[in-house]
A and B are shown apart, each in its own frame.
Chain A
Amino acid sequence: MKLERGYFTVKDVQFGSPTSMREGVLTIDKKELEDLLLREDENKNIQSLELELVKPGENARIVHILDTVQAGVKVEGDGDFMPGQLSPPTIVGNGKTHYITNFAIMECAELPWAGKSSLLYARDAIVDMTGPAAGYSPFSETFNLILRMEMVSGSSDVEYDNSVRSAGIRCSRYFGEVIREMTPDETESFDFTREVDPDLPKIAYVTQCQNQGTYSNTFLYGHEVGNCVPIRLHPAEIMDGCIVSGNYVWPCFKIPTFIQANLPVVMELARGHGKNWNFVGVVFDRGHNNSHFLKQRVANLAASQVRLMDADGVVISWEGGGNAATDAMLTLQTCEKWGIKAVPFTFEFGGPDGTEGVLLVDDVPEAKYVVSTGSIEKPTTIPKVDRVAGGKELRLRKETGGDPEPADVERTLDVITPFYCGANQSGIGRLAGVPY
């Protein structure tokens, strides 16, 4: 596979007409785009849609964030950026793709909490653009286009999920057309066809996603992966967006679509391929398997894929906060038993000062080299902000009534779970638990 990525970086974003990108300024025809997204929502689940802009450094908070998508377009080569989403499931990874690096499209909506499942509903997610919580999310540094949506009542979770995702995808493609013919500010090429020095260590990457039902799903080439067995993917396929997220259940852990197309371990390994190591491939699978047997089965199959790639070492990411730790740890264990060195990411518990007992949900004795993505049991006081985008109120604690509370006021949250990507295990963040 050979992929050339063309990057556009915006200096500013504004509403205006017509939609265009000129000298780093992205101008967006608000009405045109709003009308388009509403018109194309064929099942009419979106009652209203308003666009908002939030910029880095603003004294602003974004709430009700569901998925976040990147603007991208395949300029040469088979398939679309984010294949299988409103498009055929064509295998991607070759040719040339254009992206805007620092512009994020955020689907924001208060999805109904009327669904009965105790897990499967969109817990409110926060991004603070400045202040003590800004560092929890990579999106405090991007220009964010908020798709602020209100949904009709009486529809089903599956339909709401489809509608919000489709709006985000369509929006991405709208901007994709803007940058299709333009010359990128910067390009980066990845050539996986060249011979690699056989003395370089072979490194693989396992990315274990979350897929527990509607609102917590991940899509591979356009379909959710409830029954998936671990599959080998090429890094270039991932860069072209073959993994799309529909996971809104636990904000701090989720890996939104924008990051799925830019997984930091994939990018780092790809950049060092042929120089520092031989990046032999990616294994994609799903955690939260329902029994020990099923967890062990997926773990073994994933490790087997890693072994089939002849890897010497593997980095393991997992998405989620609970029993998926076991699937990931078992994957690590099987790899280590086969002589493949594994390094996983994990968030921590530990209580407010880190001394309280257990740090991890689960571990295996072989997990001796672990990277921390921070403890989620730390309180954060978020300040009063001038402006809230995506909504007006925060919905916290569905299980005790879920009454809405004002989103702009100062408040102390005693865990990190509501912060978007706050402790996610893709390795994108700089939050870590440090021993004192």
Chain B
Amino acid sequence: MGKKIQIVHYINQFFAGIGGEEKGDVPLDFTDEPKGPGVGLSQMLKEKGEIVRTIWCGDNRINQNQGEVLREIKKLIQEKNPDLVIAGPAFNAGRYGLACGMVAKLCDEELDTPVISGLFPENPALEIYKKHGYFVPAAETAAGMRKALPKMAELAVRFAENGKLESALAEGYIPRGFRWNEFVVENGARRAIDMLVKRLKGEDPQTEVPLRGFEQVDPAAPIKDPASAKIAIVTGGGMVPKGNPDKLKQAFSDSFGVYSIEGMDELPSGDFKGIHGGFDSTWVDEDPDRVVPLDVLRALENEGKIGSLLNEYFVLCGIGTNVAASKKLGAEIAEQLKQKEVSAAIFTST
């Protein structure tokens, strides 16, 4: 890009030279030149960029007065209209890490300005804020400053030269959570064999697909006695009235259906049809109770083994449904179950 980029740097009371923990309540302040680690950083920017303002705040102060402090920070940044904001590095510091994260979020959401920072990979602030900034991996303590600063400077220089930053692996920042499709240089077969050969040599190659854990939800309290409970049926197995009246999708669901089972002793074959795109629906078309066990539940209701069966069932096709959509649809269904005073639900899926 050629021109020297303008940078605003955010640090805390310690790196501003004011004091440690005991000075955590100092108010926001600034100076229009590099300060603390910014001095070293400036030299590393090699004429590609300059720090035109350094802002600092006590770690406790910013965490306890987020709204107010961030509004002020926003003004201070806007006054300088920088190309880039740098925060920290904060290593594994708790409150300082969160502060850097908040600054990143502010700049991302309200100022459309990228932020470069550095955090220890297990700093909890990372999970919360990683998608708002570019965080290089740093050591646990400030003893790692000599390694963290050059990495941050490098990123800033590349940003200055190219106007943007490439993928996490290419640039060296901690993956922010985004994943984009690209046509990479080697085909999958080469990459897989390469990865395997490295492993067989005892090396630890980088996986291309991190395993993401699922959110754990606390199980709800059990019901006391089925004989007094109102039960509902919910299925991800795509069994809908013939003709799919609400045009539910066979995969990548974005809606669910609710259909009456009032007075029915079973789901009659022919009147109901499986539309799930991930399994052969032949068997459930033959007998829809194989995925919506109405026959058995109605019998149990008649025998008094369950209090009552809700007069409707819920359905969608659970395939390729991403987590966000599943949560949203699941929450909507749960809301309806609550409104209809359902005590417990039986789900079926494939």
Partners in one complex: yes
CB <8 Å contact, A265 and B178: no
Assess whether B278 is in contact with A323, with CB atoms less than 8 Å apart: yes
What is the interface of chain B mostly: helix, strand, loop, or mixed?
loop
Chain B residues in 8 Å Cβ range of A351: 322, 324
Question: CB < 8 Å: which of A117, A277, A360, A400 contacts B282?
Answer: A117
Given A350-B322, A400-B247, A435-B167 in contact, is the A369-B278 Cβ separation under 8 Å? Answer: no
Please, which residues of chain B bring their CB within 8 A of the CB of A276? 197
* A349, CB-defined interface residue at 8 Å: yes
Chain-B contact segment, one of A4-12, A44-52, A164-172, A424-432? A424-432
Binds A, one of B77-85, B207-215, B296-304: B207-215
Q: Which one of B67-75, B91-99, B103-111, B169-177 contacts A? A: B169-177
Contacts of A397 in B (CB 8 A): 249-250
| Residues on B with beta carbons closer than 8 Å to the beta carbon of A355 | 131, 177-179
A358 to B168, CA, bound (A): 19
A 160-194 to B, binary, CB cutoff 8 A, 1 in contact else 0: 00000000000000000000000000000000000
With contact pairs A119-B281, A360-B211, A399-B248 given, residues A313 and B187 touching in the complex (Cβ less than 8 Å) = no
Q: Is the CB of B212 within 8 A of A117?
A: no
Q: B224 within 8 Å of A by Cβ?
A: no
With A315-B196, A357-B212, A434-B180 in contact, is A118–B281 under 8 Å at CB?
yes
Residue of B with least CB distance to A373: B188
Q: Is the CB of A435 within 8 A of B322?
A: no
Tell me whether A268 is interfacial, beta carbon within 8 Å: yes
Which of B182, B191, B280 is A117 in contact with, Cβ under 8 Å? B280
A to B contact number (C-beta, < 8 Å): 233
> Does the CB pair B276–A341 fall under 8 Å?
no
Contact status of A120 and B196, CB under 8 A, knowing A399-B244, A427-B187: no
- Residues on B with beta carbons closer than 8 Å to the beta carbon of A350: 179, 322
Q: Judging by beta carbons under 8 Å apart, are B281 and A357 in contact? A: no
Known: A356-B324, A357-B322. A369 touches B207 (CB 8 A): yes
Query: A319 → chain B, closest Cβ, in Å?
Result: 13
Question: CA A374 – CA B285 in complex, angstroms?
Answer: 34
Q: A313, A370, A371, A397 — which one has the most chain B CB atoms within 10 A of its CB?
A: A371
Q: Given A118-B276, A212-B280, A434-B167, A264–B350 Cβ distance below 8 Å?
A: no
For A357, A397, A436, which residue has the most chain B Cβ atoms within 10 angstroms?
A436
Chain A residues within an 8 Å CB radius of B223: none
CB under 8 Å from chain A, chain B span 135-187: 167-169, 175-187
Q: Collect the chain A residues with CB atoms within 8 Å of residue B221's CB.
A: none
> Distance in Å from the Cβ of A428 to the closest Cβ of chain B?
6
- B168 contact set on A, CB distance < 8 A: 434-436
Measured between beta carbons, the chain A residues less than 8 angstroms from B167 are: 434-436
Interface of chain A residues 263 through 281 with chain B (CB within 8 A)? 264-265, 267-269, 272, 276-277
A84 to B45, CA, bound (A): 67
A-B contacts, 18 listed (Cβ < 8 Å): A118-B276, A119-B277, A212-B279, A272-B193, A345-B188, A355-B178, A356-B325, A357-B214, A359-B212, A368-B211, A375-B181, A399-B277, A400-B244, A400-B247, A400-B248, A432-B183, A433-B181, A436-B179
Q: Which residues of B contact A (CB under 8 A)?
A: 131, 167-169, 175-193, 195-197, 199-200, 205, 207-212, 214, 238, 244, 247-252, 273-282, 285, 319-320, 322-325, 327, 350
In the A-B complex, the 7 residue pairs with the smallest Cβ-Cβ separation, listed nearest first, are A357-B323, A354-B179, A427-B189, A427-B188, A264-B189, A435-B175, A118-B281
